[in-house]
């Protein structure tokens, strides 16, 4: 970790009584810092606010987040920015305090050293055996309970596999352990419905919004894993990796998708348009 601020103060110490430590009672956002600019800050703060409202956690003033971000990002050209909001300390037991004093955490991490071939040539995937439980109250938001993803990521340690595809308890496609999933079939871009589980990624929404400008229709639905057998090609998205093409899923190899470079270029342009230096 490069730096950390807790409630506006440089610190790496959080009270053990904080409900994030006790129960995972909180939310987080992961943002890209590239060329000294923070990407999609407004969208991330909005998703954080939406999650806070759903969980009943008071959302700090966006100006406080922006002040912390300005302090911690200053002078950094490339890094991963993480925002965490917890319900704060509240004693033993699940009952949340009536008037919580929240913890506002801003962390900066080194940029991951992913090989450029992941972007240019694609990545290899596997299916995960762990299933995502359905809970509409938590679906879409980035809450701190990530045990399903941790268990899924423990299923492999081979460096030749970059990501795992997760399904729900009805064996329907949902997402990657750290990414959203898309596949093309003809002129239709498909992505799983995330109303019962999964994370509504910021990059996912950008791709959905960009699709019509590329002559693609978008289909969001419940799909069995066999739907990928008929796909022309797959790709993954998240706020740090941007877009990774998929070259292989289990034993199946995928050819380069015609037009994928155009999607990547469009997404890069949008990322640049939504990158902020004035916090």
106-121 tens-digit pLDDT: 999 999 999 999 999 9
In the chain, alpha helices (H)? 19-23, 41-55, 62-73, 117-120, 147-153, 202-210, 260-273
Of 155, 152, 175, 163, nearest to 223 by C-alpha is 175
The CATH number that applies at residue 216 is 3.20.10.10
120-157 tens-digit pLDDT: 999 999 999 999 999 999 999 999 999 999 999 999 99
Question: Which pLDDT does position 22 carry in this prediction?
Answer: 95
Q: Indicate the pLDDT class of residue 256, thresholds 50, 70 and 90.
A: confident
Of 185, 226, 225, 180, nearest to 199 by C-alpha is 180
CA distance 58 to 103: 10
Q: Is residue 264 part of a domain?
A: yes
Question: In this structure, are 98 and 196 located in the same domain?
Answer: no
Question: In this structure, are 100 and 177 located in the same domain?
Answer: no
Question: In this structure, are 228 and 123 located in the same domain?
Answer: yes
The CATH number that applies at residue 69 is 3.30.470.10
Question: In this structure, are 251 and 171 located in the same domain?
Answer: yes
Question: In this structure, are 63 and 136 located in the same domain?
Answer: no
Please determine, for residue 34, whether its predicted confidence score (pLDDT) is greater than 90.
yes
Question: Which pLDDT does position 276 carry in this prediction?
Answer: 79
Q: Which residues pair with 162 in a beta bridge?
A: none
What mean pLDDT is reported for the chain?
A: 96
Question: In this structure, are 141 and 258 located in the same domain?
Answer: yes
Q: Indicate the pLDDT class of residue 91, thresholds 50, 70 and 90.
A: confident
What domain count does the chain have? Answer: 2
Query: Within 10 A of 256 (CB to CB), how many other CB atoms are there?
Result: 13
Question: Which pLDDT does position 259 carry in this prediction?
Answer: 83
Of 83, 77, 142, nearest to 110 by C-alpha is 77
Q: Is residue 279 part of a domain?
A: no
pTM for the full predicted model: 0.95
Question: In this structure, are 149 and 184 located in the same domain?
Answer: yes
Question: Which pLDDT does position 116 carry in this prediction?
Answer: 95
Question: In this structure, are 106 and 143 located in the same domain?
Answer: no
Question: In this structure, are 42 and 125 located in the same domain?
Answer: no
150-209 tens-digit pLDDT: 999 999 999 999 999 999 999 999 999 999 999 999 999 999 999 999 999 999 999 999
Which of 110, 131, 154 is the C-terminal boundary of a domain? 110
User: Distances from the Cα of 175 to the Cαs of 52, 69, 172, 191, 273, in angstroms?
Assistant: 23, 29, 10, 9, 26
Question: In this structure, are 129 and 240 located in the same domain?
Answer: yes
Which of 110, 140, 174 is the C-terminal boundary of a domain? 110
Question: In this structure, are 101 and 161 located in the same domain?
Answer: no
Q: Is residue 156 part of a domain?
A: yes
Question: Which pLDDT does position 130 carry in this prediction?
Answer: 98
Question: Which pLDDT does position 214 carry in this prediction?
Answer: 94
User: Catalytic residue positions?
Assistant: 30, 142, 175
Of 226, 132, 240, nearest to 183 by C-alpha is 226
User: Distances from the Cα of 139 to the Cαs of 97, 142, 143, 248, in angstroms?
Assistant: 24, 8, 9, 28
> 222 or 279: whose pLDDT is higher?
222
Of 234, 250, 243, nearest to 189 by C-alpha is 234
What tokens appear for 260 in the block? 């994928």
Please determine, for residue 15, whether its predicted confidence score (pLDDT) is greater than 90.
yes
Residue carrying structure tokens 């987040």: 65
Q: Is residue 236 part of a domain?
A: yes
194-247 tens-digit pLDDT: 999 999 999 999 999 999 999 999 999 999 999 999 999 999 999 999 999 999
Q: Residue 71 belongs to what domain range?
A: 3-110
Question: Which pLDDT does position 279 carry in this prediction?
Answer: 66
Which of 75, 93, 110 is the C-terminal boundary of a domain? 110
């Amino acid at each position: 970790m490069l730096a950390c601020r807790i409630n506006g103060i440089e610190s790496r110490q959080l009270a053990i009584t904080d409900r994030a430590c006790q129960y995972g009672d909180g939310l987080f956002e992961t943002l890209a810092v590239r060329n000294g600019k923070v990407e999609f800050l407004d969208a991330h703060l909005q998703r954080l606010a939406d999650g806070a409202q759903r969980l009943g956690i008071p959302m700090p003033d966006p100006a406080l987040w922006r002040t912390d971000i300005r302090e911690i990002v200053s002078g950094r050209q490339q890094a991963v920015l993480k925002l965490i909001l917890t319900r704060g300390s509240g004693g033993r037991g699940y009952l949340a305090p009536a008037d919580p004093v929240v913890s506002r955490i801003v962390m900066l991490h080194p940029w991951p050293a992913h090989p450029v071939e992941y972007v240019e040539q694609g990545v290899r995937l596997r299916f995960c055996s762990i299933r995502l439980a359905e809970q509409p109250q938590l679906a879409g938001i980035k809450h701190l309970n990530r045990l399903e993803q941790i268990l899924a990521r423990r299923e492999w340690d081979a460096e030749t596999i970059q990501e795992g595809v997760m399904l729900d308890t009805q064996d329907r496609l949902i997402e990657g352990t750290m990414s959203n999933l898309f596949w093309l079939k003809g002129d239709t871009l498909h992505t799983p419905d995330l109303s019962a589980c999964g994370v509504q990624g910021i990059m996912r929404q950008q791709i959905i919004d960009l699709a019509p400008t590329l002559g693609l229709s978008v289909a969001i639905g419940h799909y069995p894993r066999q739907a990928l057998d008929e796909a022309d090609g797959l790709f993954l998205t998240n706020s740090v990796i941007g877009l990774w093409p998929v070259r292989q899923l289990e034993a199946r190899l995928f050819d380069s998708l015609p037009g994928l470079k155009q999607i990547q270029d469009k997404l890069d342009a949008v990322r640049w348009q939504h990158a902020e230096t004035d916090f």
